[in-house]
Chain A
Amino acid sequence: MKFCRASSVNEALAYLGEWGADGYLLAGSTDIMPQYNSGDVAPSALIHIEGIESLSLITINERTSIGALVSHSRLAADKEIVARHPALAKAASLVGGWQTQAVGTVGGNICNASPAADLAPPLLIADAQVTLVSTSGERQLTLDDFFAGRRQTARRSDELLTTIELEPLPNGSAEVYVKLGRRGAMDVAIVGLAVRLALGENGKIANARVAVCAVAPKPMRLPKVEAALTGLPLEAVELAAVGKTLVAAISPIDDNRATASYRKRVLPGLLQQAVCQCAEEIQK
Chain B
Amino acid sequence: MTGSNAMSDEQSVPISCQVNGRNHQLNVRPEESLLSMLRERLSLKGTKEGCLEGECGACTVLVDDLPVDSCLYFAAAADGKSIRTIESLHAEEGELSPLQQAFLDHGAVQCGFCTPGFVMTLTALLEQKKAPSRTEIEAALAGNICRCTGYRQIFDAVFAVEKTE
Residue of B nearest to A103 (CB): B68
Taking the nearest CB of chain A, how far is it from the CB of B59, in angstroms?
Answer: 9
User: How many inter-chain residue pairs (CB < 8 Å) link A and B?
Assistant: 86
Query: Is there an interface contact between B54 and A96, defined as CB atoms closer than 8 Å?
Result: yes
Choice from A37, A93, A102, A185 contacting B52 with Cβ under 8 Å: A37
A48-B72 CB under 8 A given contacts A1-B30, A98-B139, A99-B67: no
List, in ascending order, chain A residues with CB within 8 A of B60's CB. 99
- Contacting residues of chain A (88-112) with chain B, CB-CB under 8 angstroms: 93, 96-100, 102-103
Choice from A3, A99, A186 contacting B74 with Cβ under 8 Å: A3
Query: Is there an interface contact between A33 and B74, defined as CB atoms closer than 8 Å?
Result: yes
Q: Would you give the 0/1 interface string for A195-230, flagging 1 where the beta carbon is closer than 8 Å to chain B?
A: 000000000000000000000000000000000000
Query: Is there an interface contact between B143 and A1, defined as CB atoms closer than 8 Å?
Result: no
Query: Is there an interface contact between B77 and A99, defined as CB atoms closer than 8 Å?
Result: no
A48-B142 CB under 8 A given contacts A3-B30, A102-B66: no
Query: Is there an interface contact between A34 and B72, defined as CB atoms closer than 8 Å?
Result: yes
Query: Is there an interface contact between A48 and B143, defined as CB atoms closer than 8 Å?
Result: no
Interface size on B, residues (CB 8 A): 33
Taking the nearest CB of chain B, how far is it from the CB of A3, in angstroms?
Answer: 4
List, in ascending order, chain A residues with CB within 8 A of B124's CB. 98
Choice from A29, A37, A73, A99 contacting B57 with Cβ under 8 Å: A99
A48-B76 CB under 8 A given contacts A97-B144, A103-B68, A186-B143: yes
A100-B30 CB under 8 A given contacts A3-B76, A48-B76: no
- Contacting residues of chain B (116-155) with chain A, CB-CB under 8 angstroms: 121, 124, 138-144
List chain A positions with a Cβ less than 8 A from chain B. Answer: 1-3, 5, 26, 29-30, 33-34, 36-37, 46, 48, 50-51, 73, 93, 96-100, 102-103, 185-186
List chain B positions with a Cβ less than 8 A from chain A. Answer: 11, 13, 30-31, 33, 52-55, 57, 60, 63, 66-69, 71-74, 76-77, 79-80, 121, 124, 138-144
A-B contact pairs, 29 of them (CB 8 A): A1-B30, A3-B13, A3-B74, A29-B73, A29-B77, A30-B69, A33-B33, A33-B74, A34-B72, A36-B31, A48-B74, A51-B80, A93-B139, A96-B143, A97-B143, A98-B124, A98-B139, A98-B142, A99-B60, A99-B121, A100-B69, A100-B72, A102-B66, A102-B68, A103-B66, A185-B138, A185-B142, A186-B55, A186-B142
Besides the contacts A33-B54, A34-B54, A73-B66, what 7 more A-B pairs have beta carbons closer than 8 Å? Answer: A1-B31, A2-B30, A33-B71, A37-B53, A98-B139, A102-B68, A186-B143
